[in-house]
Amino acid sequence: MDRFLALQLFNRIVELGSFTEAAEMLNVPRATATHAIKQMESRLGARLLDRTTRQVKPTLDGQAFYERSRRVVADLEDAESSVSTQVVNPRGTLRLDVHGVHATTILLPHITDFRERYPNIDVILSSGDRLVDLVKEGIDCVVRAGQPRDSSLIARKLADLPEIICASPAYLARYGTPKHPRELAQHHAIGFFSRGNDSRYPFSVIVDGDVQEFPATGWISVSDAECYTSAALAGCGLIQVPRFRLEEHLNAGRLVQVLTQWKCPDLPICALYPFHRQLSPRVRVFIDWVRELYDKRFAIPGS
């Protein structure tokens, strides 16, 4: 087995935790896979994998080797793809990180369509609200809300999402309903924080054609989008979020939009990827595909 295929095999074993599954995925015999890893360990002079009857885990040396080798494999796959038929039929592993709500409500319900279009691409998807280091963590592409802050990343806009400010009926009954954006400072706002960011963001409202910010105060902050909504449902304060996330609660009357005379600025959703991934066929076809999803979901009627 050549070194490139052996590296691919090693990476798949680490990611799947199984010799058998990795061998099946690469269409090589189980015995061949075992022999290839033994040869790799012998050549490197280090044990890379701990094997038990139930699972396979990398050793400390194996984890360090995996962190480096997965980048090498990705670069080699991209290099081959750029000058081969893989430009139209890309293959390899695509590592994504997508905001939790967008992963569960937009991307994952249609992910089998992506697989049918590109059957040679395997997807590793992480989700959540934390900031990730794409290069350090070996992630090919992320989908994030808001204006991109990292100038080292390339951004492709997927959509602009209408936002609203809302609260629960119980909160409004207790504290009153703001009649003008300047009254927001008198209300409780639910804070949202992530690693490296402040725990509270101002409300943004368009007043007389200009985007104005109104400081928010409050007694609770959360770090998860679902918790953000749950805190609002519990009457903890006002939140500002894309409307699509709250349609069910708005229709049921569990949340109420306020300041309907004023429009909030739209929230941009972007796909971000490292500069060195700009020619990756896997990233390119994913971005084209995910843009179709957002176009269909948030298309302006009549446009």
Segment 123-136 shows an average pLDDT of 75
Question: Would you say 260 and 187 are in contact if contact means Cβ atoms under 8 Å apart?
Answer: no
Each residue's pLDDT tens digit, 18-76: 888 888 878 889 899 999 999 999 999 999 999 877 788 999 999 999 888 887 877 77
Structure tokens belonging to residue 56: 């396979």
Question: Average pLDDT, stretch 103-119?
Answer: 94
Look up the pTM and report it.
Answer: 0.68
What is the C-alpha to C-alpha distance for residues 130 and 86, in angstroms, rounded to an integer? 33
Coil vs helix vs strand at 116: helix
**CA–CA separation, 187 and 133 (whole Å):** 35
Q: Is residue 231 scored above 70 in pLDDT?
A: yes
CA 64 to chain centre: 24
Q: Which domains are present in the chain?
A: 1-83 (1.10.10.10), 84-156+275-303 (3.40.190.10), 163-258 (3.40.190.10)
Here the tokens at position 248 are: 């069910």
Predicted pLDDT of residue 303? 41
pLDDT for the residue numbered 83: 60
CA distances from 74 to 14, 92, 139, 152, 282 (A): 15, 8, 10, 19, 10
Judging by DSSP bridges, how do beta strands 92-99 and 163-167 pair with one another? unpaired
